[in-house]
Amino acid sequence: PQAPKPAQTIKVPRPPRPTFTMQRLSAEKDLRAAIKEWVAEFRDERPYGEDVAALAKYLGKVVREERDLGKAVGVVKWLDWIVGEFADDQDQDQEFEAAEWGEAVQRVKDGVQDAAKDRGLGAVAFD
């Protein structure tokens, strides 16, 4: 009798990592640079709601799909720190819309918190 043929295995590719912006950023280092550039570019204006929503949505995907809460929290903490730095460094010549940027940080934190909740994780500490 012939030996049975081994079962055929199919390799299923991993789903692509979530990316952010048209540049398709996903590495934390690149995200930090893009966020710093974004805050610097719009320091004297309020951030666009669509931009804030896009960042919150992206970080939600990082938590839900990439399953990397640490990365999402790290990016949020970086955003919060950058906003704080710009608020502290403002001078007479350049205004910084600290209240609006603070609201933006909170919206992004809420997005990450919601994603963590969806995954059944506890409250996220951003401190």
Q: What pLDDT, in 10s, does the model give residues 35-80?
A: 999 999 888 888 999 999 999 999 999 999 989 999 999 999 999 9
* Identity at 19, one-letter amino acid code: T
Kindly list the domain boundaries of the chain, sorted by start residue. Answer: 43-118
Mean pLDDT of 109-120: 95
pLDDT category of residue 86 using cuts at 50, 70 and 90: confident
Given this model, what pLDDT does residue 22 score?
56
pTM confidence score: 0.78
Cα 101 from Cα 2, distance rounded (Å): 71
CB-based burial, 60-97: b 16+ in 10 Å, e otherwise = bbbbbebebbebbbebbebbbebbeebeeeeeeeeebb
pLDDT category of residue 7 using cuts at 50, 70 and 90: confident
